[in-house]
Amino acid sequence: MNQTKKLLIIDDDPDFVAGIKSILVKANYEVDVAYNPKDGLQALQSKPYDLLLLDIMMGRGAEGIMIARKLGKDPKLRDLPVLIITGIREQMAFLFPGQAVHPHFVAVDELVEKPVEPKLLLEKVETLLKTAEARKAQSK
């Protein structure tokens, strides 16, 4: 890739964020971090990103879902690929069988469980970025 891709992580677990940020930085991605939904939304509105890595369970509950829904309603952000990295299935006994049970619940491009293996993380990030680039090229 000729240009460094800019990623944003929104997750309230500093230890987890430090781990995945180091993996992504070593893979030559530029990585910003927000530790709460409010700061994450401000970052998304102030700077362009190529990919969002989003936790679901933050603050008072599933605040990551609120962020994903806001992205879907924002014309400037709705095409931003979203990789959800969460322990929600473990925490709430949710089942994510690959396809959304209700497609309008929340739009996400990919979901992986915490803890995520570094190799899987990098594969998902790379795939989402390539898919987003292909979409942009088609729409031109």
Please write the tens of the pLDDT for every residue from 7-47. Answer: 999 999 999 999 999 999 999 999 999 999 999 999 999 99
Domain boundaries, the chain: 6-139
pTM: 0.84
Per-residue tokens: 127: 């795939």
| pLDDT tens digits along 116-132 | 899 999 999 999 999 98
What is the rounded CA–CA span in Å between residue 8 and residue 36?
A: 12
Architecture of domain 6-139: 3-Layer(aba) Sandwich (3.40)
120 three-state secondary structure: helix
Residue 53: in which H helix or E strand, if any?
strand 51-54
> pLDDT category, 107, cuts 50, 70, 90?
low
Chain centre distance of CA 8 = 7
The number of residues in the chain equals: 140
